[in-house]
Amino acid sequence: MIESTVTLLAMRGLQATAFSDVLAHSGAPRGSIYHHFPEGKEQLVDAALELAGERALRVLDTVAGQPPKAVTAHFLDVWREVLKRSGLRAGCAVLAVTVAADSPDLLDHAASIFRAWRRRLAELYVTAGMAEADAIRLATTLVAASEGAVVVSRAERSLEPFELVAQELLAATP
């Protein structure tokens, strides 16, 4: 169910993701929702954010110790795959929640995930020899530009915008 929620958030946004959609997509039994998530939708979305955030962090572990360009390229690969596998219909669940967040708690959670991504990327850049200030600036730009590129490519239903941004980000990585 959490897995399905991540997917649906990324494809349709927060309000458009109803329990019925999650059940249909996951095949989970109808009566299970409030058993596993007694606090309702907010708890389910919260769990989905956690999963999406952690998964991206784990992907980054595989490039620890590699040069900056490899780090940048790998982070870009994650988003390129999201776009490709969904036929350019999916985006980022964390962004979707940020844009439509009704509760301060969900917004805070989304913020902590963005921060974690930025921090982890900056760490990897520093490990690869970059200066601290350059690392955090590039890491933040990578996160922001990737998120934006996914949105634009999704709207235009073309990978072209994403690839242009990817080129620019790789060029900006020492």
Partner DNA sequence: GTCTATACGAAGATAGAC
Partner DNA sequence: GTCTATCTTCGTATAGAC
Question: Which residues of the shown chain bind a copy of itself in the complex (CB under 8 A)?
Answer: 12-16, 91, 94-96, 98-100, 102, 107, 110-111, 114-115, 118, 136-138, 140-141, 143-149, 151-152, 154-157, 161, 164-165, 167-169, 172
Interface with DNA by CB under 7 A: which range of 38-46, 72-80, 105-113, 126-134? Answer: 38-46
Q: Which does 34 bind (CB under 5 to 8 A by kind): DNA, a copy of itself, none?
A: DNA
Helix residue ranges per DSSP H, the chain? 2-12, 19-26, 33-36, 41-61, 68-85, 93-100, 104-127, 132-156, 160-172
Residue 167 touches which member of a copy of itself, DNA, none, C-beta under 5-8 Å by kind: a copy of itself
Q: Which is nearer to DNA, 36 or 89 (CB)?
A: 36
Is the Cβ of residue 18 or residue 171 nearer to DNA in the bound state?
18
- The structure tokens 């059940």 sit at 23
Q: Which of 25, 41, 119, 137 binds DNA (CB under 7 A)?
A: 41
Tokens coding 139: 């890491």
- DSSP secondary structure letter of residue 173: -
115 binds DNA (CB under 7 A): no
Task: Quote the CA–CA distance of 165 and 79 in Å, as a whole number.
Answer: 12
Stretch that binds DNA, among 30-38, 76-84, 114-122, 135-143 (CB under 7 A): 30-38
Supply 41's token pair. 């939708």
Distance between CA atoms of residues 6 and 44, nearest Å:
10
Residue with tokens 């990585």: 173
- Contact between 37 and 47 under an 8 Å Cβ cutoff? The reply is yes
Choice between 57 and 107, CB closer to DNA: 107
Which residues bind to DNA, rule: CB under 7 A?
17-20, 29-36, 40-42
